[in-house]
Amino acid sequence: MSSEDIFDCILRLEETHIQQGFDEGYEAGLVSGREDARHLGLKLGFETGELLGFYKGCSSLWNSPALLAHLSPQLHKHLHDFQALLDKFPMMDPEDETKDEIKDGLRVKFNIICASLGVPKKQLVYKGYPNPSSNLDF
């Protein structure tokens, strides 16, 4: 056996261990990444559901017959558009790319309606959101 054969074995052994370490690290990263993505998805889904629930509650209140009788036609249109956006939100399709656009539209309509009703926006803020400093781990 020549000295070149011995060094080739050593070089291949190092390459084998590097590849094995890479493969094991890659698999561990996939598992960890899936778990991180799952937690992020749960957190974002919960926040979206909370926001939509709040908006639906506001819409139900604003569309009550007692209140609607005292509102302008323009505000009726904003309320109708707000409800239409809520109905259009893709609740069962989280990969639908229109969801962010619809959420932005809801936020704008919500602000317009609050301003039109003369209700300070701070008065209609949902108080159920977790405190960012509470270190909740999703």
pLDDT tens for 93-107 read 878 889 989 999 999
Model pLDDT, residue 82? 95
pLDDT digits (tens, 9 = 90+) for 41-67: 889 888 888 999 999 999 999 998 888
The pLDDT score that the predictor gives to residue 131 is: 47
Whether pTM > 0.85 for this model: the answer is no
Model pLDDT, residue 117: 87
Instruction: Write out the H or E segment, with its range, that includes residue 79.
Output: helix 73-88
If pLDDT is split at 50, 70 and 90, which confidence band does 128 have?
A: low
Neighbours of 80 (CB within 10 A): 13
In angstroms, the Cα distances linking 122 to 42, 63, 103, 118 are 27, 21, 19, 12
Looking from the CA of 33 toward its CB, the CA atoms found within 13 Å total: 6
